[in-house]
Amino acid sequence: MDHSPAVLRAHCCIFLRRVYLRLVVGSFFLLAGCSNVRLEQASPPSLPRTVSLKVNGYCASETFQLGEIFPVNHSGVLTKTGWLIDTDRDFLPDKIERDMQIADLFGISYLNEDTSGDGYRDIVAYRLGKDINSQSSFRVCDDKYQDTDKDGLFDCEEVVLGTDYQLADTDLDGIPDGLEFRHGLNPLDPSDAISDSNRDGMSNLRALSLGRVIEETVPSWVNEAAVKVSLDTYGSCADVTIDDIPVLPVKNGNLFEVQFYERRYDGVPQVRYVKVLIEKEIEFMSEIIIADPVMNSTYNSSGIQIASE
C-alpha cells in the first residue's frame, strides 16, 4: 500500500467527508424526529354531548346599534384538558377551587360563589390575593350581588377593581368588563381587545365573540370543541344561533348566557342578555328555541321564561 503523504491526505479527506455526511444525515433525522414530537398534539378527551340554541327576533334598544354578541358558559370552562365544571358559577372551575384549597370550614366552597358571604365572589379575592374565608378582606358591601350595568361583575366588585359599575365596558374596547375579568384581561386597558393573548392569529375581541379560548395556546381540537356562533342580521335586529353548547353533568343545571353588546350613537355602551338554564336531565333535546326574547331574562330548556330583572 502506498503510504506517501499525498495518498494519506486523500484517504483522510475521504474519511472526513464520510463522517461529515453521517453527521448531517443523522442531524436531519434527529431534527425531524424532534419536530414530530413538538407538533404532536394531545388526543381530545371524551367530550360531552351538545345542544344548539336559537335566539330569534333579538333587536337592539332604541338609539343603540347592534355590536358584538358574546357566548358565556357559566357552568364550565374549556381548557386544553377538556371541559372543567364550575358548579357555583364563580368563574373558578371546581378543580381549581379544590386544588388551591379554596374552601370554607366544610370544604364545599365550589358550591358557593361567595364563600365568606361578603358580597364578593371567590375569584375576586383569589385574583387580588385576599382571604376568601374572611368578610373583612374588602370594604363592606351594602348592596350585595347587584349588577347595575349587566356586565357580569357585581357593583361592589367593580368598586374594588376600579371599573365603573354604571358602564358595562369601562375602557370602551368592545368587551364587557365581566368577560374581560373572567378571561384574565384588564377591563381598564383598551389595548388588550385588539391583542392576541395566545398568538393564534385572532384578536381577543374576535376570539371571545366566537367562544374560543384565549388564556393559553391549545391544541386545535379545543377550539373545534368550542361553541359556534352564527348571525342572521337585518337592520338593528338579528337571529342568533349557537351550536355545540355542552351539557355538562352539573347538579344545578347548565347556565348559558348570550350577551348582546350594544353601543349608543354617542359611543356609550350597554349590555343586555338572555340566559338559558339547561337541565342536565334532558336526554333527547338537540335544539332550544327562544323566539322574540324578553331581554335580561332567563329561560328553561323548553324556551319558557322563568326569571327576569
- pLDDT of 252 higher than 50: yes
Encode pLDDT of 89-100 as tens digits.
988 888 888 876
* Amino acid 29: pLDDT: 36
Range with the largest mean pLDDT of 42-46, 110-114, 127-131, 173-177: 173-177
Q: SS3 for the chain, per residue? A: CCCCHHHHHHHHHHHHHHHHHHHHHHHHHHHHHHHHHHHCCCCCCCCCCEEEEEEEEEECCCCEEEEEEEEEECCEEEECCEEEECCCCCCCCHHHHHHCCCCCCCCCHHHCCCCCCCCCCHHHHHHHCCCCCCCCCCCCCCCCCCCCCCCCCCHHHHHHHCCCCCCCCCCCCCCCHHHHHHCCCCCCCHHHHCCCCCCCCCCHHHHHHCCCCCCCCCCHHHHHHCCEEEEEEECCEEEEEEEEEECCCCCCCEEEEEEEEEEECCCCEEEEEEEEEECCCCCCCCEEEEECCCCCEEEECCCCEEEEC
Encode pLDDT of 37-90 as tens digits.
333 455 677 888 899 999 999 999 999 999 999 999 999 998 888 899 999 998
Look at 135-139, 151-155, 228-232 and tell me which has the smallest mean pLDDT.
135-139
Model's pTM, two decimal places? 0.81
Look at 37-51, 229-243, 255-269 and tell me which has the smallest mean pLDDT.
37-51
- pLDDT of 249 higher than 80: yes
| Domain regions of the chain by residue span | 1-40, 50-308
The mean pLDDT of 88-114, rounded to a whole number, is 73
* Amino acid 9: pLDDT: 53
* Amino acid 34: pLDDT: 42
